[in-house]
Chains A and B, each alone.
Chain A
Amino acid sequence: MGVTSFILKKAVIMLVTFYVISTVIFIIPRLTPIEPKTLFADNPRIPESIRVKLIESFGLNKPMLDQYASFYVNLFRGNLGYSFLYRDPVSTILMTRLPWTILLVGSSTVIFILVGIIVGVFQASRYGSKFDVATLVGSLVASSFPFFWVGMIFVYLFAFVIPIFPSYGATAPGVTFTSPFSMIEDMLWHLMLPAITIVIVNISRYSFYLRNIMVGVLSEDYILTAKAKGLDENKILFKHGLRNAMLPTMTMIAMDFGFIVAGAIFVETVFSYPGVGLLAYEAILNADYPLMNGVFILLTVVILAANFTAEAFYSVLDPRIRKAK
């Protein structure tokens, strides 16, 4: 199979997946005894003019099939309904929250993947040594910590016992910054604890995975050849070994996106970090049905897109994958 047709096939699978998941999301509210109109439009917090518009555009007074059609028409227009809690269109709220999640999850993901890879490579190169066993036990313990619990301990230790970091938010409230630098400094200061939480729990999963692959790679003949040639050990590890261990690691990252997103929901909740994850928590807490649906659809799109990108990259880098299946 050529690269293009492989990617096309994957794209079709992703679209079908999205279609199925979004249909499930359409159906679930309609399995409850409550009318869709009540769930998505009738709320005392919503102005009358908007309520009428919502019922009209989502066809909430019409039969189920019409509602289904309107659901997709609105979805493709980016209309996800109107939040009861924030009295704003859901899509607008999502767009203001998404950058924070990207900042938090993006920065910590890059760090834990890099550190995880380096630790894993060194573990594999010292397979069975004290260093290997000690880091292995350490990572086993760290990976069983629940995200939110690590976050809670950090809040307690570094925001209450030794108050050096803020306990909530992404920026200091009500402060006007004199320069862009002080604003960035404030953002980083708020980012520190939630990001470290994500990093600590995740590093070990990657180091463990990479260690196991690298142990296999390092027993290959070409590594022995490289050693026999007298190449530098670090060069062998990172240039010859890691290159071959990277491909399966990339798939792991892609398949892992759901887990990373779940982690973001917990961590943002603990630190009241104003990203999409906290939004999900607020939506649940306030029974804001349109908002929760919107968050779900956004997260689905993000997970599918990440997965698709990784698979596409993978198929370009490693021709073997296109032959499999």
Chain B
Amino acid sequence: MSNKKNEGLGRIRHLREQTSDFWRTYRRSKLGLAGLAMLFFFVGMALAAPLIAPYDPWSRVGPPFAPPSSRYIFGTNDAGMDILSELIYGTRTSLIVGVSAALIVSAIGTLVGLVAGYFGGVVETTLMRITDIFLLFPDLPFIMILTLYLGPSVWNIVLAIGILWWSGTARVIRSMVLTIKEEPYIEAAKAIGAGNRHIMLSEILPHVFPVIIVGVIRFTGFGILYEAGLSFLGLGDPTAKSWGTILHYAQTRGAFVRGLWGWFIPPGACISLTIISFTLISFSLDRILNPKMRRPGR
């Protein structure tokens, strides 16, 4: 019992060392830090939405089409809702959709890649053929069709992205597994009688994990971009507050003619900044976690 406890403590200590090592390297990347700061800003905004939003974003709090003023910093929309409050609450939708879509994508992609790469043969061929088909699936039109038949909903978007985007991850993971499984330590694990599941989960998975992490962060950015795009087309949940939905109403209810820049500049800027932050983080992580990808300076 105490032995096990010691082992646990040792692991935690090891993990802590690794984390501080990692942080020491990450800290050196200015762009990575900038990305992280931006991400913290948006996560904070999502968590503290009820505290910092000046108004309830779902109710009419002023005259419709009010221009930006000290009372309504970005103005109001066609229904007299405060756009700043909508924007703050919209952060929640964007982050949740992005993260959950990215998790589904990475989970499916990793599973398919692991199984295909590890078992090889017919299993691999079949899975890779399926992957090829998904790689060519026209994703945006397909999600539009799904929404048309299933009704607009944020979760339909998450699900559709999850089902459609895993193929790239599966390919990358598979090719990594193909190399890893030839390593001597895998043979050693087999020799002492480790089962397939143990080898895949405990021996191979940790080695592809860095790639998965970078993938999750990258796909979160894409997911946010897609959710915004689909909501902009009017395919999002009309009652949910989302950056894309705000832009949808700005486009269809005449923000341009009235010159209400506060209605469409800030939501797009939020989308762009979140995506930039995820790109910066994944870029910096990639260089630390996947050192083989580091390019030698010429």
Contacts and interface: CB of A to CB of B under 8 A. Distances in A.
A266 B145 contact: no
B251 A152 contact: yes
Contacts of A155: 256
B140 A145 contact: no
Interface of A: 13, 16-17, 20-21, 25, 28-29, 31-32, 127-128, 140-141, 143-149, 152-153, 155-156, 159-161, 167, 212, 215-216, 218-219, 255, 258, 261-262, 265-266, 269-270, 280-281, 283-285, 287, 289, 292-293, 295-296, 299-300, 303-304, 307
A258 B247 CA distance: 23
B272 A141 contact: yes
B237 to A, nearest CB: 15
B149 A167 contact: no
A159 B268 contact: no
B279 interface: yes
Contact of A146 (B135, B144, B271): B271
B229 A266 contact: yes
A238 B247 CA distance: 42
25 contacts: A16-B129, A16-B133, A25-B145, A127-B298, A146-B229, A146-B268, A149-B268, A152-B264, A152-B268, A155-B256, A156-B264, A160-B256, A212-B295, A255-B135, A258-B137, A258-B140, A261-B138, A261-B140, A262-B139, A281-B233, A284-B144, A284-B147, A296-B138, A296-B145, A303-B138
A153 B265 contact: yes
B102 interface: no
A166 to B, nearest CB: 13
Interface in B186-242: 221, 225, 228-229, 232-235
Contacts of A17: 132-133, 136
A128 B297 contact: yes
Contacts of B155: none
Contact of A144 (B234, B265, B272): B272
B228 A146 contact: yes
Contacts of A140: 276, 279-280
B272 A280 contact: no
Given A25-B145, A258-B137, 10 more contacts: A127-B297, A140-B280, A148-B229, A149-B271, A156-B264, A160-B256, A255-B135, A269-B232, A283-B148, A292-B144
B276 A141 contact: yes
Contacts of A146: 225, 228-229, 232, 268, 271-272
B35 to A, nearest CB: 10
A255 B138 CA distance: 11
B1 interface: no
Interface residues of B, number: 48
Given A152-B250, A284-B234, A144 B275 contact: yes
Nearest to B168: A255
B250 A145 contact: no
Nearest to B265: A153
Interface string B243-286: 00001001100001101010011011001110110011000000
Contacts of B268: 145-146, 149, 152-153
Ranked nearest first, the 3 interchain pairs of A and B with the lowest CB-CB distance are A149-B268, A262-B140, A144-B275
B141 A20 contact: no
A167 B272 contact: no
B142 interface: yes
A16 B133 CA distance: 8
A145 B272 contact: yes
Nearest to A302: B138
Contact of B247 (A25, A32, A148): A148
A156 B133 contact: no
Given A149-B272, A261-B141, A280-B141, A304 B136 contact: yes
A34 to B, nearest CB: 8
A153 B279 CA distance: 23
A127 B298 CA distance: 8
A261 B145 CA distance: 15
